[in-house]
Amino acid sequence: MMIYCFILLVYFNSVHTNHFNGGTITWKPIDPSDSSSSVTITIQQSYWWTYPNIQCANNVPITTSGRANQGSNLTCTADCSTDGGYSTKPIKTLTDCISVSSPLGMLTSQRSQNITLTANAHFYLTYRGNAWTGLGKPSVMNLEWSITTYVDLRMRPDGIINTPPTSGVISPQYIVVNRTSQIQIPVSDVNAGDDVHCRWSEYSHGYRRRRECSACVVTTCSGLACLSFSDCVAGTTTVDTPEILKPTSTYPVRQAINKCGGTCYPGLTPDTWYAAAIQIEDFINSSSTTPMSSTPVQFLIYVMPEPTCPYESIIQPLTGCFDVVVGITKIFNLTIFNRCNPSDVDIADVVLSHEIDGMTKSSLTASPTNSSVTYVQFIWTPEAEQIGLQRMCATAYTEEYAQSDVYCVTFTVMSSPLLACVMTTTTSTSTTSTSSSTSTTSTSTTTSTSTTTVTTTTSSTS
């Protein structure tokens, strides 16, 4: 299933104090069929940071010098009377570094934690702070962010506890001025048959209102031009330090389906940072207007000048079978074709937006026979708890931050080699053409996998 949402780029005159770059929060039940009086779920937080402003260590970000006071908790921000006891044992927002790209200045952190809640709990859980990069032009610092997920442990109509869709997107995303760009956001849902939608995160003014993003939204649109913006309220500080955030809580009416399609977006200004905040929601079927969960995805977008070489690299898809077996090590390569002259602009790195636990990635290795070909080697020994589908998504970057289409591959982990086929990888050493072309989207094919595409049009007009 493919979803192409042409969604509005939410313009935050927001805070990028040069270290927090967005992220996502999701959760899943340990046993979707659990009908006992208490239910254990796993809450996973994944965040992007600027490296080396934030150090690669456990307990990000407080292990970075000068940030010891920047830890906080995920807080209940709506329906807290039915939070199943969460507020008595909140989870910290600290995460652990899982990957770094020194050439691109990117750091990824993640942490999963189990918590047991009362059956039928349902509430909104939020990570809030004010350490975005300075966004907009003129740049405004220290605005707030609010990354909110909806937890609902009530049984679905089909008699199980819902597992929300998951999504990941690399942040920052780099797009080129005067060019229409598509930002691909792979989405998957383990509950086959669910109807998955995207929408813009929403901000509600007033005391104790649920917020899913910062305070800037487009209010009037005509065609592809946005005519006016609401007021953008900055925080009270001008340095990267914690401040007292405005309280939020109940939101009176649940949102109806609001696909990202049909919205408009402004022309974007070069040399400027923007932020996007969307929610991925699943519905029991296409006629339902009540989401069973809501997964936040927030990321930064940088509009850069025209690069020396405007051509994105290409990740060659893997071929053959994607079955892997518990306890048997799988080694494979991803091959990247550089459509620029490598002596002028080379491949900088390959970054994963969706990782598989236990899979290691090598540094870039140049082909000995073709200077336009680079590859990355992956090594993985699947474990018993990974039986089922496991997905990896990758993006290649040039030294000028031109990024390839997202390439995703889904492996099927099996318990016995008797059930598995053999995966092959074809590596070509031919040089690809450097002529301009229209990029296409490539996504792994499972019944519950989709790709959301953010389309933006940039303009050199200030």
What would the two tokens of residue 399 be? 């030294």
Q: In this predicted structure, which of 11-20, 88-97, 162-171 has the lowest mean pLDDT?
A: 11-20
Q: 419 φ, ψ to 5°? A: -95, -10
pLDDT of residue 241: 35
Average pLDDT value for residue range 35-60: 96
What would the two tokens of residue 206 be? 């007033």
Residue 445: pLDDT over 80: no
Residue 176 pLDDT class (50, 70, 90 cuts): confident
| Contact (CB, 8 A) for 74 and 21 | no
Q: In this predicted structure, which of 7-21, 84-98, 270-284 has the lowest mean pLDDT?
A: 7-21
* 342-376 pLDDT, tens digit each: 999 999 999 999 999 999 999 999 999 999 999 99
What percentage of residues in the chain have a pLDDT greater than 90?
A: 55
Q: In this predicted structure, which of 105-114, 401-410, 431-440 has the lowest mean pLDDT?
A: 431-440
* 6-33 pLDDT, tens digit each: 333 433 333 334 588 999 999 999 999 9
In angstroms and rounded to an integer, the radius of gyration of the C-alpha atoms of the chain is 22
> Going along 153-260, which residue ranges are E strands?
166-167, 173-176, 180-188, 195-200, 218-222, 225-229
Average pLDDT value for residue range 239-252: 34
Instruction: Record the pTM.
Output: 0.78
Counting Cβ atoms within 10 Å, is residue 387 exposed (0-12), middle (13-18) or buried (19+)? middle
Counting Cβ atoms within 10 Å, is residue 63 exposed (0-12), middle (13-18) or buried (19+)? middle
Average pLDDT over the chain, rounded to whole? 77
Q: Kindly give, in sequence order, each residue whose CB lies less than 8 Å from that of residue 164, ignoring residues fewer than 6 positions away.
A: 26, 27, 28, 149, 150, 189, 280, 282, 292, 293, 294, 295
- What does the DSSP 8-state code read for residue 203? -
| Contact (CB, 8 A) for 111 and 94 | yes
pLDDT of residue 358: 95
Residue 384 pLDDT class (50, 70, 90 cuts): very high
**Category of 143 on φ-ψ map: left (φ > 0), alpha (ψ -120 to 50) or beta:** beta
Q: In this predicted structure, which of 101-110, 197-206, 218-227 has the lowest mean pLDDT?
A: 218-227
**Residue 166, amino acid:** T
Residue 130: pLDDT over 80: no
Residue owning tokens 């889904």:
410
Residue 51 pLDDT class (50, 70, 90 cuts): very high
What is the spatial distance between Cα 203 and Cα 193, in angstroms, rounded to a whole number?
Answer: 30
Q: Is 212 helix (H, G, I), strand (E, B) or coil?
A: coil
> Closest Cα to residue 315, out of 397, 254, 256, 252?
397
| Contact (CB, 8 A) for 403 and 410 | no
Q: Is residue 129 within a helix (H) or strand (E), and if so which, with residue range?
A: strand 122-129
What would the two tokens of residue 127 be? 């990570």
20, 161, 455 from 146: Cα distances, Å: 12, 26, 23
Which one of 18-22, 50-54, 456-460 scores highest in mean pLDDT? 50-54
Counting Cβ atoms within 10 Å, is residue 426 exposed (0-12), middle (13-18) or buried (19+)? exposed
Q: 67 φ, ψ to 5°? A: -120, 25
* 288-341 pLDDT, tens digit each: 989 999 999 999 989 898 999 989 999 999 998 899 999 999 999 999 999 999
Largest CA distance in the chain: 64
What is the spatial distance between Cα 351 and Cα 355, in angstroms, rounded to a whole number?
Answer: 10
Residue 209: pLDDT over 70: no
What percentage of residues in the chain have a pLDDT greater than 70?
A: 72
What is the spatial distance between Cα 278 and Cα 116, in angstroms, rounded to a whole number?
Answer: 28
